Amino acid sequence: MIVDKAGEVIADILTLSPSLAKIPSASALLDTSNFTFQAISYGKDSSAYNYHGHFSIYAQPDLGYPSGIYVRSFQLTDSVSSYQSSAIASAIPLYKLSPDFPSPLDTRLERGLCRTINTLQGVSGMDIGHCPNYAILSSFSSYYTFLGCFPASGNGTDYYVVSSYPSVTENWVDFNKRVAYSGTLESEYNTYGIMDSSGFLTFAPINGSRGKQAAITAQFTSGAVVSIEPTFSSTGQVDVIWRLRGGDAGALLLFGGIYHLGLWCLDVKQMLKDGHKPPFNFNPLNNIRKYRLFAKKTFSKDLLYIKDAYGLPGFNYLFEREEPMDGSDADTFIIYQWKIRFL
């Protein structure tokens, strides 16, 4: 759904005075990149921000627990294990899995409160309406494993899927017996610095026909791309394409899955009010960019829903090892393609 804020972007384009070209300090406002698609974000139901990996009763460093993402799976068997956000929701009486329906008036992906509140650690997260990326903030190095929603780069982030809740005072030696499976997830987004702490995945500077070529060759390490076919003048179709690799996908699943996708443009007026001047460069650690929601997609089923197969633990193979479970040589990362038509 294209939301009302998209109309504001178009109105800004149509009312921008060409005379700014004669003013050196303002001419950069006429750069067309200021009004193109600039970010993708992932969202989920508001309840999820205090369940799944956000529910950090497990994270007890004082009892010798190693740092990592801890979740309980309600669908464990003796030999095959996975993780499903819907199974967690159905097993917890207070959890209502109901992502917000899309509305033209939406300015964020989820209208409800999306703040992770952890009284045990005395930490409260951001409320931005979609999945944040605390892993790149050094000031949250002790808390990002439950604030979410992406793993770290480099050595990655350990995860532990357990079969049952621990007691409040249970030490790691005893608790480790409850671990069904575990491993390490590494973020591609954070490795290449293409996502800021608010969870905005930036766009690569290659668009149009070059963006199409980048998509064909799966060159997504600079961000999402805009691909335009030669028939654009008659079809008005623009393809937005990006990649979600196993490490980032696995972490998103452990933190509650994907039920929303957001497409964002720059909020140029707000950045000017904040005292910023173009060019509005992207910086993952100190991003001055403000965004305006252009379109959103909402799903009733988790986009990361998986079922175990071939007697193998699906989560471990797909998201950590990034290996297909059928023994083939196929790549396991996800490519998303969002078609926008301008009529």
**59-118 confidence digits (pLDDT tens):** 566 677 888 998 887 765 555 567 888 888 888 877 888 899 999 999 999 999 999 998
Tokens (6 digits) for 200: 């905005």
- Provide the whole-model pTM: 0.91
- The average pLDDT across 240-256 equals 94
CA 146 and chain centroid, separation: 15
Please check the confidence at residue 150 and state whether its pLDDT lies above 90.
Answer: yes
Asked if residue 217 belongs to a domain, the reply is no
3-state secondary structure 189-251: HHHCCCECCCCCEEEEEEEHHHHHHHHHCCCCCCCEEEEECCCHHHHCEEEEEEEECHHHHHH
Asked if residue 115 belongs to a domain, the reply is yes
Asked if residue 232 belongs to a domain, the reply is no
Asked if residue 336 belongs to a domain, the reply is yes
Cα separation of 48 and 324, whole Å?
28
Backbone angles phi, psi at 50, to 5 degrees: -130, 20
Structural domain of residue 166, as residue ranges?
1-205+246-343
Check residue 229 and give its pLDDT.
Answer: 81
Cα separation of 228 and 225, whole Å?
10
Tokens (6 digits) for 236: 């008005």
Mind listing the pLDDT tens digit for each residue in 189-206? 999 999 999 999 999 987
Count of structural domains, the chain:
1
**C-beta of residue 256 within 8 angstroms of C-beta of residue 54:** yes
**C-beta of residue 78 within 8 angstroms of C-beta of residue 67:** no
Residue 205, CA distances (Å) to 1, 173, 225 in order: 25, 49, 8
Q: What is the enclosing helix (H) or strand (E) of 15?
A: helix 4-15
Asked if residue 341 belongs to a domain, the reply is yes
343: pLDDT confidence band, cut at 50, 70 and 90?
Answer: confident
Asked if residue 213 belongs to a domain, the reply is no
Q: Sheet containing 334-341: give its strands across.
A: 291-298, 260-266, 37-43, 201-207, 224-228, 237-244, 334-341
Cα separation of 20 and 25, whole Å?
9
18: pLDDT confidence band, cut at 50, 70 and 90?
Answer: confident
- The average pLDDT across 183-187 equals 94
Cα separation of 149 and 143, whole Å?
11
**C-beta of residue 88 within 8 angstroms of C-beta of residue 95:** yes
Please check the confidence at residue 325 and state whether its pLDDT lies above 70.
Answer: no
Considering all CA atoms of the chain, what is the largest pairwise distance in Å, rounded to the nearest integer? 71
Cα separation of 1 and 260, whole Å?
11
Residue 314, CA distances (Å) to 42, 87, 151 in order: 22, 15, 19
Cα separation of 214 and 220, whole Å?
7
Asked if residue 222 belongs to a domain, the reply is no
Mean pLDDT of the chain: 86
Asked if residue 308 belongs to a domain, the reply is yes
